Structure 1
Amino acid sequence: HINRSQTAQSKCEVCIGKLCQHSVTLINNTEVVFNCAHPEDIFTVEIVKQIGRDRCNEYPSLQNFSRTFTWNVSTQAQKAFSLNFTKAGLRQIRPTESCQDKHVYTVSAGRTTLGRFCRHGTIKGMKVSNEGSVSLQVPGKGQMDPTTFDISVGDHIPLLPIIQVSLPEEESSQEFLSPNYPDSFPDNDLVTWSFRVPPKYYTTVRIQNYTDPKCQRKDARLEYQLYFKRVVKKLSETQLSEYQGSFNLSLQNCPMQPSSALSLHFSISAIKRGSEDLRKEKELQIHIKKRKPKSACVLKLNSQIQETATIFSSRISYLSFYDCAEEDLLLNINQNIGRVLMVPVLEKCLLGVLQQVTWRLYVPQHGAVELMFPLGSQQQSLAGQTCNSSVLLTVTEHEQGNITVGQFCPQGPIHKVQIRSNITVTASPVDSNDLRQITYALLKGSFMETINEHYIFTVLPKKDTSVLLATPAWPVGMRPYSTVSWIVSFPSQLEAQVVFTNVSQVSCPNQHKGIKVQKQGSRDETYSWRIGEKLKDVVVEESFYLNMSNCRPSKGSFSVVNKILSITLSVLSVLLVLVVAVLAVVCIINRKKKKQAAPEVSVYNPNGHAFLPGLHGIPKTTEDEDVHIYHCIDDTMVYGHLLKDGTEMNHFEPAVDSYQAFTGPTERQPLTEPEVGVYRLFTGLEKGYVSGLVLADASVLLNPCPSKGASTTLHLSYDTNGKVLKILLWRRNWETKKKMVVCR
């Protein structure tokens, strides 16, 4: 068939004798003439031959044209033909893709297109029943290789096609498409891919894209024919994962409703793994049991039928499974180990869902064990604290019986745990998952010198978060005379609020002082309570220790849940920021009427506190004048006791135009009105300004801009003991007759 391209602009024609037209069909040897110079740019050629077992050869006279070779194959009734591509192999491509060498194969079975393919791939053959065709597109001036594939006739197959795939002996990934893709796979039809997998390779099937048909009855499905069992999956389900060995995969369509369609795009990847010899694992035990004792699954250990079986890494055991699916068996692993805690890699032939792994860590004499989390910090699994994880870790100690220290999952503030006894760590899946999928280290265990406490938790909370921390063995209660410490660390100038959300009712016969909060680096207790007392919420401005020690309770058991609320900027830090911000506003307002200022002088306050500087002169004002007030902080948040005793202040060099962080303790309870004592007035000169104020160990920059014709006044309010209760800094502009409160 010689056809002029539909997109050709030329009116060139092909002529047989005097008859010229835009297309001709040749059956016998015929001389043709083109009435243009380069017909190969305008015409395409399709060469079709009906064959049984032979092939169609090249036509040298047409080699300059783009050609499509089509071989139509038909067999006798109850027969099938095989296409053998073993010399080159084929690789399936999408309908819009092309091949690097421009040679594209199209294989059809009846009216169904099995796909488009390039040379050099993993598809080694196809079996098609009754009739089909193979087409090869060859570009102009390219030569067709007649030895690319062979055709043979064999026995009938009871399904549409079988596509034979041989995966290479290397890590690889292949993509496959359903027949007629992206159009619908035929109604109620079946196609099978037969995958040959080399030894020691494990394959995983992933659905890349699909359309699910609306079925009149039954459902479209994928069916795996494995070595010893058959598995049926919906298109929406997770498919075969890391399976060892060859297998068949069939796509079965349903009787579809009108305007419905089924299409499938999937990939298969293969990775190599060496033979996992369990004898390399030290002190490993694997317990196998049937999920349902009355199931058809038969488990044999050393040729003996068993309902449960235990194998040891130090021995050679012979296991056999008959009519057993993966989900019919449950596996538990116990292992004595000293360092990294990982799920042992099991042979794929060992069937069963791995539901639990337990590691035992034996602490040396006068030592302790430290557990680190390689994938980041952990959190305790408690009510009100969500664990988004597929694995839950349970830590149990064995000093006096089996006591659960706690359950842990990722994404939390607990950085490490130290325990002064032998422990076991048990990994269990969440939502019935299989622990075989866990290929990373869950914990890192190490041994260290003994610790004073029984348990130490290192906690690194994040800013603006809240976390829950429970005492070991919650909610049962800590064992008598046991101790626990939380080392809570966070950046400077931040603070944490500790709330005791759940405290058990317990009585100690000796009024045991069992709960302490202590700042890190300090030997003094910041807060402390006896067991049985009502616990109050506390705010700690520095990294701290939270220590708890149990007595031998005469009633009840000792257990506490602590909640560390959001880490926020401390009150003093907020005060400093606001003071600077307000004074910047005052500076801008007064610069508009800026006049020459008098020089600074230092003033000695008879109360013993040195203040930078103020110029003498008392402005005369009345309380009923119009006042513009700028609040730095509310009166209820005043901390006047930051001013130390004068003897201390005399040794402090006040800073000017600088900012220093405050590190001293602060009182958390706000002062209440009315104030006690006298109201003393400290003033500067009439035409001066206050440029700095010193508060204890911190220097707070209070620097209103200098302005002629304005005055600044500093008021200090004291109690009967001389303790400062209030500081009021304000300035008056004589031209506007107004005063502005700069800061209270």
Structure 2
Amino acid sequence: MDRLNCRVTIVLLGFLLLRAARLLRGAEASEIALPQGSSITILIKLGPSAPPVKPCFIIISKRHVTVLVIKAGEKMVFTFSCQDPQNHFVMEIQKNIGQLNLLGFSGALVTKTHSSWGTFVWDVKAHKSIGLELQFSLPRLRQIGPGESCADGVTHSISGRIDATVVRIGTFCSNGTVSRIKMQEGVKMALHLPWFHPRNVSGFSIANRSSIKRLCIIESVFEGEGSATLMSANYPEGFPEDELMTWQFVVPAHLRASVSFLNFNVSNCEKKEERVEYYIPGSTTNPEVFKLEDKQPGNMAGNFNLSLQGCDQDAQSPGILRLQFQVLVQHPQNESNKTYIVDLSQERTMSITIEPRPVKQSRKFVPGCFVCLESRTCSTNVTLTPGSKHKISFLCDDLTRLWLNAEKTISCTDHRYCLRKSYQLQVPSDVLQLPVPLHDFSWKLLVPKDRLSLVLVPKQKLQQHTHERACNTSFSYLVATHLAAPGQDLHYGSFCPGGSIEQIQVKQNSSVTLRTFAPGFQQEAYKQGLTVSFVPHFKEDGIFTVTPDTKNKVYLRTPNWDRGLPALSSVSWNISVPSDQVACLTFFKERIGVVCQTGWALMLIQEQRTQLEEIFNLEEVMLPKPSFHYHNFWVNISNCSPVSGKQLDLLFWVTLSPKTMDLTAVIIAVVAGGALLLLALGLIICLVKKKKKKDKGPAVGVYNGNVNTQVPRQLKKFPKGRKDNDSHVYAVIDDTMVYGHLLQDSNGSFLQAEVDTYRPFQGPTGDCPPSPPPICSRTPTTKLTTEELPPCISPESESEPYTFSHPNKGEMGNGDIDIPLLDTQEPLKPAEEL
């Protein structure tokens, strides 16, 4: 009899819904009468998005109201003040089924409306030991998170009870996998329909079941490949304290399921421990217990359950327990049965991460890619830690959708131990044997500050990547120095095999990253390989050793090309020139465009054999025209503190060509040959004269009063450089000087005279770059002219030797000879013209 009465009530509810929907269509009078004892309440109120203009009211006995409540046993006649009440009001029809005690109760709650409109609420209460089950017909439901909405505007809001507390189970749309929801003690179901939605059924039924002994159970059914995103109760707020919630997944036997946690938080527990438990048919360890931060199971065949268990929270600081996760169901992949071993047991600073490659989102179902440890614990990304041996497999239809990133640290703490030690930078074979493509392999190189520096020597000479000559290999090296000061990182550039760079020297802590660009890296892996050595500290930020190719241009550019060379940094290129070749140095632009705030931006070009050098102020002067170099030479760039937006970046190239004998060279050779002939004749005449005067007394020196006795000084205006004038030529003592007898050796013969007057430094020059003029000024830049040196450019070293020609013994001439006083300090070299 009770069951019959419940069915009558449900039919009556459907009739009322039909009548209510017809009433809310215009301004004509409407009448709603609810039978006594029907447990039905109708609430008509303004909707949340009611238009702010032209307000609409409910008219009852000439009273204008915005809320109307009709309870069981009441009859209400009313009209609306507008023609479109559906745009202003929502209707909630509440049915309190009450305390259900019969285990066999069931029934369909149907709305027989042609134009359903409003929010319909079913509120069912039951004893604490009674379980209530909501069953959803096709299409099943899909849970949505905060801020999401349903495409058709139809939403199902489902709540449960814990004593007097309402717990929100979730909000659902159509077209999902959720087929049933079981709750204990009570359920409240709210169906929200837009006024234009042509729906005539509620889409669910309700039945009472035995106790489920937990907050709720959500059943999710997969009929083929697909995914489902689900959330804990009250998400994103906290899960109820010390409660248990379960999800049951029905998966066809021929498919595989994998779980990944998208977002979670744990609370502060006083007792017990928050965890997730899996019940997997066929597992010998059921239930399998995991922490929320663990990698979750994957590649599971058949149905399985997942439960979330809370704890007793700290009353003072409870925290929040919440979970959002995804279940992906797909066909088993070819790689799922293959196991790969990655042995990192001997490594201490190397880690490997396998993760999804970034791709554009697609609305179509895309099978997931999972990495599984020991074939069970699977995740979309996995990090293999050092010190262990790892067994991994893949659940993925296309392994190119994953990529691998690795990192290794090579550090030195004791410079005495590390000095001259070398290490190989090479991708290990365990990484190359994996079927996942390598993206990055980075080595962090750490050295004691101001103690050691680094030298990188490639297995094959490198080419610097530029727009003019791009790398076309499957991988390249990215070299960078990382400084503590923000914005001061120095990115030397991208380098690939097949060029002219023999080594790269870096001043301090750096990183070298091997980055791949094409699947062909496996075939070109033999080309990769760098040797890093710890060497004594040097002051240059970077030094490149370059041996140009005789067939191709060598393009070189300053580090930090896109952002400009960091302030006060200095970089050098040591460029070798074969003995049978001549090098042409060409700059891409006529001007740099850098504007200095303090200091100077300078470029120095120095011949390594002759020590001849040219200095250019990059802020003011034009870069030199193409120049030819017959010997090894240096190019040094030193930056100032530039004004923001005016950065220093320089691109240049070097080409080699065979040496040729031109007309000028022939003339010079002829003149040189004639000079040698004259010199030989002169020596013969001198020897004859010396023999004739062998019996004569010692020669007497003549004092010349016109000699300038002042110490040579730097002239303020000196238009020529030393190489262009005779400022370095000193008057010599004639062979008739009184001191000529001191030039005799033990046999009585005279020593031969040395030629030329200025001898440059002839020590080793190839290993160390030229020292640029010091940039010590922190005052605003002053303009350099051809008449003066920068204030901080130091004079030439006093150790540069000058030689004086030694005279032969002979008669002293009677003419006046200007003999400058000898001084230990040489005259300063005038500034080169810019």
Shorter-chain TM-score bucket reads 0.3 to 0.5
Q: Which has the larger radius of gyration?
A: 2
TM-score, structure 2 normalization:
0.41
TM-score, structure 1 normalization:
0.46
- Indicate the structure with greater strand content: 1
